[in-house]
Amino acid sequence: MSSFLNIAGVSKRYGDVQALNNVSIDIRENEFFALLGPSGCGKTTLLRALAGLESLDSGVVTLANEDLLSVPANKRPVNLMFQSYALFPHLNVYDNVAYGLRREKLDKTEIDQRVHDVLKTVALIDQKDRRPSQLSGGQKQRVALARAIVKRPKILLLDEPLSALDKKVRSEMQLELKRLQHEAGITFIIVTHDQEEAMSIADRIALMDKGVVVQIATPVEMYSAPKTKFVADFIGTSNLFAGTLGSGTITVQGKSLPTPVTALSAGAKAVLVLRPEDISLGIAGTISGTLVSSNFYGGSSLLFFDCGFEQLVKVSCALNQVPPVGSTCHLSWSASDSILLADA
Amino acid sequence: MPVHNKLGWLRIPLYGVLVFLYLPISVLIFMSFNKSDSPFMWTGFSTKWYSVLIHSPKIMEGFKNTLIVAIVTTIISIVLGTLLAIGLARYQKSSALEAVALTPAIFPDLALAIGLLALFTSLHLTLGLHSVIISHALFCMAFVTAIVRGRLSQIDSSLEEAAQDLGDSAVGTFFRITLPSIKPAIIAGGLLAFTLSLDEFVIAFFTDGPSTPTLPIIIYSMVRFGVSPEINALATVVLLISALIVTIAQRNVKVQDQI
């Protein structure tokens, strides 16, 4: 598929801080794309620049082959759903949603039709005369969403849309967002710092750090083939062993661990990435350690072993197989399940 | 047991302070209904001093002048004060500038009055209601700015961005989003400016021309030759207008807090 939104080499500096450093991303039509990263990585700056609320120092952004950056914010076929929702407090739900359509000077019956349709889609038709102050967090979020999609933008930008909701409502809204994106046929770009949210919701993710795009990939690729130590650490839970490569092994804090097939040469600094679910407990194993604590997560538990390394080793384990705390276990894994990355 | 019953002996100083605060005003209102010619001796109930007020061309002229000054001052203060507040809140985030903009509210009246008189004289400006209006607007504006500025810092600046994102122009955003959000503060500030201007004496005394005295100046000139009973009635009227306006202003701010 060809590129729909093309972000090419954009940079932005605030004083001493390089918020965006030569960022290039191609986003496809009807894609659910996530900009993921820790706070201060530049993801929100990029989103606000796409909405036209922030200017860029350099770079080009085109939407369907037309320049986007020269179009003022109020003329862009792009709408932003704000983190704070930014609902107009003096207007009721209906007028909030109709606000953007009225600015397009559409005729009254069409506005009425479209507002009613979208309020039905987000199940808020009974609340249409309420003021934002009379709504719950989840309802406010849906009004903000309705207000943005009723304009039928080419791209909907969502700035941490679920961060203000509690965990249960959040997972419901994730499903809701996916359904809406599918129904409306709009390209969604979501900004989030929550890797689980990005993994569960997005078709593709761009992981950013300190103004730079570190990796662009599907959630599965990003989890199974992280490009750098930062990606491996940020996405999912992982054990990271930094050490020096030998032939077929890596020496980590005096211990030798097996490595997968690698193009890196012996003697290089490297990091071995081992996911907790790839490690199994048994009688014999590569390393052994004492169980320090276990965290219960419903179906499975995450166990922490002291294996003589500086950090504890994390192992995921089915609930009925959790050994008692203090017991010594042997940890084994297949070298081909681990990932070896060059350590800068 | 209700909390107020636990006050105990603290009730004595509480009522003492309340009496201290409200006794002079109560005496004023009470004596304004006195039949006697002497402002200090009660002889019976009468509203004759109020009708004396209405039939005194001098007082009615002063009342008209005062209303003109207060209304025009309020309009100027609202427009300039609001614009200044928006500028301070949105465009020029400098605490020094903010201090400079808000300080006129606490200038000593006398210093301001002498300064203004010196300025007007050196500019060869004839004194009259216009010079009083300029002077009053100068300090009333600072009050409007302070109140509107406070409101602006409470409202989410992403509201304005959201309006633009939804396709509104900068001007449309101002009238449809910014102005409705700060309207209660503008009304409260305007009413405050009105009451401040209404009974302002020192600055008006220095900057007014001789042919257009405002009400406080007339009251002053009447009192100089002894307190006549209609002064009580006049002061009561001014008091009631101020109290009414302050009440409206406070209700307005409360309504705004509920939104």
Residue-wise pLDDT for A149-182, tens only, equals 999 999 999 999 888 777 777 888 888 888 888 8
Q: Quick: pLDDT tens for A240-257.
A: 999 888 888 888 888 888
Q: Is B217 inside a domain boundary?
A: yes
**Which of A117-126, B97-106, B247-256 comes out lowest in average pLDDT?**
B247-256
Whether residue A82 and residue B158 make contact (CB cut-off 8 A), yes or no, is yes
Encoding tokens for residue A227?
């490009």
- When CB atoms are compared, the residue of B156, B166, B259 closest to A84 is B156
Name the domain count of chain B.
1
Whether residue A86 and residue B259 make contact (CB cut-off 8 A), yes or no, is no
Residue B259: what pLDDT? 45
Whether residue A90 and residue B180 make contact (CB cut-off 8 A), yes or no, is yes
Q: Is B14 inside a domain boundary?
A: no
Give which of B159, B160, B161, B165 to mutate to test A binding, by max A Cβ within 10 Å.
B165
- CA-atom Rg of chain A in angstroms: 24
Give A-chain residues touching B156 at CB under 8 angstroms: 84, 86
Scan for tokens 């407990």, then name that residue.
A281
Report the gap between the CA of A338 and the closest CA in chain B (Å). 46
Whether residue A147 and residue B166 make contact (CB cut-off 8 A), yes or no, is yes
- Chains A & B: contacts with CB separation below 8 Å: 58
**Which of A39-48, A169-178, B124-133, B249-258 comes out lowest in average pLDDT?**
B249-258
Q: Hey, which bits of chain A come out as E strands?
A: 3-14, 17-28, 32-36, 58-63, 66-67, 78-81, 155-159, 187-192, 204-209, 212-217, 239-245, 249-252, 255-258, 269-274, 280-282, 287-297, 300-306, 313-318, 328-332, 339-342
ipTM: 0.82
Give A-chain residues touching B187 at CB under 8 angstroms: none
CATH of the domain at B149: 1.10.3720.10
Domains of chain A, by residue range, sit at 3-224, 237-342
Question: Which pLDDT band holds residue B1 (cuts at 50, 70, 90)?
Answer: very low
**Around Cβ A311, how many Cβ atoms within 10 Å?**
13
Whether residue A53 and residue B177 make contact (CB cut-off 8 A), yes or no, is no
The mean per-residue pLDDT over the stretch B117-128 comes to 91
The mean per-residue pLDDT over the stretch B151-169 comes to 90
Which carries the bigger pLDDT value, residue B93 or residue A121? Answer: A121
* Domain range enclosing B154: 49-258
Nearest CA among B187, B182, B177 for reference residue B77:
B187
Report the gap between the CA of B147 and the closest CA in chain A (Å). 19
Which carries the bigger pLDDT value, residue B139 or residue A263? Answer: B139
Residue B41: what pLDDT? 76
Strands A249-252 and A239-245: antiparallel
Question: Which pLDDT band holds residue B254 (cuts at 50, 70, 90)?
Answer: low
CATH number of the domain located at residue range(s) A237-342 in this protein: 2.40.50.140
What residue ranges of chain A have pLDDT lower than 70? 1-2
Whether residue A86 and residue B177 make contact (CB cut-off 8 A), yes or no, is no
Judge whether A108 and A135 are in contact, CB under 8 Å.
no
Closest chain B residue to A83, measured at CA: B158
CATH number of the domain located at residue range(s) A3-224 in this protein: 3.40.50.300
The Cα A23–Cα A28 span in angstroms is 16
Residue B102: what pLDDT? 86
